[in-house]
Structure 1
Amino acid sequence: MQRRIRMLAVLASAVTIMATATAANAADPLLSQGKPVTASTQSGCCSAAAAVDGDSATRWASTANIDPSWIYVDLGATAHVSRVRLQWDKSCATAYEIGVSNDKTTWTKIYSTTTGQGGVEDLTTVSGDGRYVRMLGSKRCRTDAAYGYSLQEFGVYGTTGGGGDTVPPTPPGKPELVSATPNSATIKWAAATDNVGVTAYDIFRDGQLCATTAGNVLQGTCNNLNPNVTYGFYVNARDAVGNISQASETTPVKTPPSNDTQKPTVPTNVKASNVQSTSVGLSWTASTDNVGVTGYNVYNASGGTSTKVGSTNGTSITVGGLTPNTAYHFQVTAFDANGNESAPSTPPVDVTTSGGSSCTPSQGMCTVKQVGTDDDVVWGLVTLADGTILYNQRDAHTIVHLNPATGAKKTIGTVPNVQSTSGEGGLTGLEINPKSFASDNWLYIMHTSPSDNRIVRIKYDPAADSLLTSTEQVLVSGIQRNKFHDGGRLRFSPDGKYLFAGTGDAQNGDNAQNKSNLNGKVLRINPDGTIPSDNPFGNAIWTLGHRNIQGLAFDSQGRLWEQEFGNSIMDETNLIEKGGNYGWPKCEGTSGSCGGFIAPKKTYPVGSGSCSGITIVHDALYVACQKGERIYRHEISGSSLVNSKQFFSGTYGRLRTVEPAPNGGIWMATSNGGDKDSTPHNSNNRIFHVTVA
């Protein structure tokens, strides 16, 4: 009897322990919802992302009659997995296993069965550590060849941050050129080091990912380059849990010209249309080439000289920034990827612009007047009450006061603790509170420091026209920095209550989906840096899923619009919604696994985009593009962008910053020369005032 009592006591104790463990596991948070997910196959009806969307009415379905099949979720960081909940559709698995991995190659099995029953299988006794969690099905419940595997929900529970690996690798060595062709470049580099181990290297050219190698491979090739063009190559290192190094130094590589020496044919049938006081439309018949026409240049041959006034990859263009009541003589040439340029079209098209100074809606953008020049990268820019301008010099780390009426300018101070990144970091955003600046004189500044990106505020002394650096207050810190993707734009809400900031993903796409990480986000704070009580995630994050934000602007309804860089496919303009997820890195524009994310209102091919600053005047949205060397103008209609037009294509080079100017115009700043090297005072930039409709 005593033995039986002791056995019952032991059993009761074991049951209590199991119940306690199960309760503890059940209390661990759900880690998988909304995370990136990959499957061996997926049917047209049912994407892999549907298995982690928190909606049991949707499902992932594999292609029929394939054994084994698998699906894994990327948790974004190494986690201790304590529970896996599988909610099967009718097409379940009788034999399957659950595995964890840190590199998606070597999997550790934490559960397996050959007697799966379907329905809801709540596995509360699993235990393992990994960033990736996989269900591998090897035998289907429904043996008919018309069926596969189908999961309504794949829930992974556990904890992160429990002393896991948080140390990133060291930067790789500076790349060296191995070889180059007109369309590719092969580089090599010295290995990075890591406390656990380097698992991969990412190769970038001018900030765009172009190749990836394994952690034991120290050489890689980037393709799809153009001949006779200089690119900047650098390398990042990654470890198994996704920690990313700072970038290597940049190595410039100029691709050799191709053996193509044949010029395109001369454009024909050049015609003028829609002649306005400050703009003219031109169109022509396409040229031909033995390899392919890359684009067209437009010249004004007036006054005995030929001046380039535009370029495009199409067969029409609106040439803007012209002078009213003036004669122009336009000619068009065609060029190919190797730089061969045709003779100009003949005879020149003679056009005299109309008189008058009005700017009509059909014109959109009219008179252009240069108001200043600068030898540094002009980034953030604000207008003071007297109509003068303050702007940031990104690489020199100084703020300049410019009088547009006279061209006079003065450096008012150097922002303390700024450090560039040999890329896009440095002194970026600049903003003033529209409701309180007249009384408080705070300048709100975003910049890269030696350890992070941060938002600060510093007093401006109008009487002395100087920056009072001793008043500096750090409002937000801890935004990761990297060579590229540092974001930087600041914008106050029209009522002055909240400051919004656009951040970049620091070249780590996982950051954009991590709600505990400030990178790849739109942030929203109070003017003193505190967190508004109605922010959706209890921190500074307002929206997530962004790659690299450099444009923010409010419309007349108080809605926030945002501009961000894509990688290699498309840039995007977004209408910002509280708590919204915009998809990066799973979705770039409208390309990729975009289900469940907020779609952009407008996209732009990267080749004609790389758009940075935006502004809104009279509910027209103006987008300044760098690689595209143009301004896009869209009219805001409801929640759509309509009547889109392009201006200044190739006229002034790369365009970075546009901001509202007094009396309904805009300021427009170029970004030519020294744009990606962080070297102070090696640029050739201009600041314009543009009259708009």
Structure 2
Amino acid sequence: MGRSVNTLVAASVVLALAACSPKPAPVPAPTPPPRPTPSGEATPAPIPEPVAPVGDVDVVASGLDAPWSIVRLDNGGVLVSERDTARIVEVLPDGSARAVADVAGVDAYGEGGLLGLAERDGSLYAYFSAVDDNRIVRMPWSGDPGAITLGEPSDVLTGIPRASNHNGGRLAFGPDGLLYATTGDAGSPDDAQDPASLAGKILRMTPEGGVPSGADSLVHSLGHRNPQGIAWDSTDRLWAAEFGQNTWDELNLIEQGGNYGWPIVEGVAGDPAYIDPIVQWATDDASPSGLAIVNDTLFVAGLRGERVWAVYPGTVSESVGQTAWFEGEFGRIRDVVPGPDGSLWFLSNNTDGRGEPRDGDDRLYSVRLSPLVEG
């Protein structure tokens, strides 16, 4: 299932070149800038110990239908979106799932449907594809685990371009309390370079969908093809996982106002006009969707790659290290989130029309994480 910690240490200090040797080797961009050191007498915060999966993988839930996003509520409840059914389901302690709501207005075709979820201050936010656009809504939620209920949705943001593919769709609240959303180019690559378009962007907004104070627009970064994973590390740096076209998938360190090059460049280009990815993978090795960060270890869900990448951005060695986990064991992996009690949760996606479903698919899995110690 996994591998020993000692093996992982050796593997994580180099790029995972042997994972798929017949394919183009992953090429990292330069190591991200060093963490800033506070001035004066203050002591820098310790860098979190990197972590790795250990032990057996457990099934948290089964029988999910094209699941897309996981949300863990503060009261212990767990909600999952199903792309094609437009249902939000609650995961129960016995591993079953109960339908909580059918989100009105979802028009599921191609890669569109009910996509990302996020939660803040008693509201559940959902990103979905409607007939003419992608949009973000929020719904009040209440109830104890096992009896979660959702109220009527209200619009947060509408008019995000949609198509049969490249709809983006991930939602997350940042350390600044603002809502971030990833959008794809919706099949019109040039729109990713147009600052007036919401396509091919990472958006940043107030919880009500407004432009944040001090900003000129909702656009936080541009030049993206189809980003589907966002998360923040311990120093509040934003990372994003992004589908490439047919050559390179990307893991990017996001800067406000940054241009990530699509469709002019794909992967590491060395062009000073655009920001290179920190890591790139051949598309067969990744097709990255969800992204989670635990102790500054980045876990990236791989769809076509059928694995979870663990990426160590300069914390285990002087260069970016990475290791592939669970390759081919569970099929396509759509989302990954920090789980309870030092675990990592990840979501298979074999019933979406592109995978090969197994009995009981799709499933939500859990694996324990343990510190990764050099030596």
Who is 2:165 aligned against?
484
TM superposition outliers: structure 1 runs of 4+ over 2 Å = 273-279, 311-315, 360-367, 385-388, 640-643, 673-677
Who is 2:112 aligned against?
425
1:204-353 to structure 2, matched below 5 A, reads 275=4, 313-314=20-21
Q: Which amino acid aligns with 1:466?
A: T
Who is 2:188 aligned against?
508
Who is 2:99 aligned against?
411
Q: Report the secondary structure of 2:341's partner residue.
A: helix
Q: Which amino acid aligns with 1:510?
A: D
Answer whether contact 1:430 1:489 (CA < 8 A) is retained: yes
- Give the Å deviation of 1:381: 0.9
- Give the Å deviation of 1:636: 3.2
Who is 2:149 aligned against?
466
Deviates more, 1:368-377 or 1:617-626: 368-377
Say yes or no: does 1:664 pair with 2:362: no
2: distance between equivalents of 1:427 and 1:641? 38
Q: What TM-score comes out, normalization by structure 1 length? A: 0.45
Answer whether contact 1:553 1:562 (CA < 8 A) is retained: yes
- Give the Å deviation of 1:685: 1.1
Distance of aligned partners of 1:275 and 1:661 in 2 relative to their CA distance in 1, 3 Å threshold: closer
Q: Name the structure, 1 or 2, with higher relative contact order (CA <8 Å, separation 6+).
A: 2
Q: Which amino acid aligns with 1:396?
A: T
In our comparison, the structure showing a higher alpha carbon Rg is 1
1: distance between equivalents of 2:184 and 2:294? 26
Q: Report the secondary structure of 1:456's partner residue.
A: strand
Distance of aligned partners of 1:362 and 1:523 in 2 relative to their CA distance in 1, 3 Å threshold: closer
Answer whether contact 1:372 1:687 (CA < 8 A) is retained: yes
Who is 1:570 aligned against?
248
Who is 2:209 aligned against?
529
Distance of aligned partners of 1:365 and 1:610 in 2 relative to their CA distance in 1, 3 Å threshold: farther
Q: Which amino acid aligns with 2:20?
A: N
2: distance between equivalents of 1:663 and 1:276? 19
1: distance between equivalents of 2:151 and 2:322? 43
Say yes or no: does 1:450 pair with 2:131: yes
Say yes or no: does 1:394 pair with 2:83: yes
Gaps of 5+ in 2: 12-17, 23-48, 371-375
* Structure holding more strand per residue: 1
- Give the Å deviation of 1:475: 1.1
Q: Which amino acid aligns with 1:502?
A: T
2: distance between equivalents of 1:465 and 1:558? 31
2: distance between equivalents of 1:362 and 1:389? 24
Q: Report the secondary structure of 1:399's partner residue.
A: strand
Q: Report the secondary structure of 1:510's partner residue.
A: helix
- Give the Å deviation of 1:618: 0.8
Say yes or no: does 1:555 pair with 2:262: no
2: distance between equivalents of 1:611 and 1:383? 21
Deviates more, 1:596-605 or 1:373-382: 373-382
- Give the Å deviation of 1:660: 1.1
Answer whether contact 1:634 1:641 (CA < 8 A) is retained: no
Answer whether contact 2:204 2:218 (CA < 8 A) is retained: yes
Who is 1:133 aligned against?
none
Residue deviations 1:182-225 (CA, integer Å, cap 9, x gap)? xxxxxxxxxxxxxxxxxxxxxxxxxxxxxxxxxxxxxxxxxxxx
- Give the Å deviation of 1:559: 1.2
Who is 1:57 aligned against?
none
Q: Report the secondary structure of 1:662's partner residue.
A: coil
Q: Report the secondary structure of 2:108's partner residue.
A: coil
Residue deviations 1:168-188 (CA, integer Å, cap 9, x gap)? xxxxxxxxxxxxxxxxxxxxx
Q: Which of the residues 313, 316, 337 maps onto 1:636?
A: 313
2: distance between equivalents of 1:660 and 1:642? 21
- Give the Å deviation of 1:607: 1.4
CA RMSD of aligned residues (A): 2.8
Who is 1:625 aligned against?
302
Say yes or no: does 1:688 pair with 2:368: no
Distance of aligned partners of 1:364 and 1:642 in 2 relative to their CA distance in 1, 3 Å threshold: farther
Q: Which amino acid aligns with 2:369?
A: V
Residue deviations 1:114-169 (CA, integer Å, cap 9, x gap)? xxxxxxxxxxxxxxxxxxxxxxxxxxxxxxxxxxxxxxxxxxxxxxxxxxxxxxxx
Distance of aligned partners of 1:589 and 1:461 in 2 relative to their CA distance in 1, 3 Å threshold: same
Answer whether contact 1:601 1:641 (CA < 8 A) is retained: no
2: distance between equivalents of 1:432 and 1:654? 25
- Give the Å deviation of 1:364: 4.3
Answer whether contact 1:387 1:662 (CA < 8 A) is retained: no
- Give the Å deviation of 1:376: 1.1
Distance of aligned partners of 1:361 and 1:600 in 2 relative to their CA distance in 1, 3 Å threshold: closer
Answer whether contact 1:575 1:601 (CA < 8 A) is retained: yes
- Give the Å deviation of 1:365: 4.3
Answer whether contact 2:50 2:295 (CA < 8 A) is retained: no
Aligned length: 329
1:136-175 to structure 2, matched below 5 A, reads none
Q: Report the secondary structure of 1:400's partner residue.
A: strand
Q: Report the secondary structure of 1:588's partner residue.
A: coil
Who is 1:608 aligned against?
285
Q: Which amino acid aligns with 1:473?
A: S
Answer whether contact 2:59 2:95 (CA < 8 A) is retained: no
- Give the Å deviation of 1:683: 9.1
1:586-597 to structure 2, matched below 5 A, reads 586-591=264-269, 594-597=271-274
Residue deviations 1:25-81 (CA, integer Å, cap 9, x gap)? xxxxxxxxxxxxxxxxxxxxxxxxxxxxxxxxxxxxxxxxxxxxxxxxxxxxxxxxx
2: distance between equivalents of 1:576 and 1:501? 13
Identity among equivalent positions (%) equals 37
- Give the Å deviation of 1:666: 1.5
- Give the Å deviation of 1:663: 1.9
Q: Report the secondary structure of 2:190's partner residue.
A: helix
2: distance between equivalents of 1:540 and 1:312? 39
2: distance between equivalents of 1:454 and 1:522? 14
Q: Which amino acid aligns with 1:498?
A: L
- Give the Å deviation of 1:524: 0.2
1: distance between equivalents of 2:103 and 2:51? 43
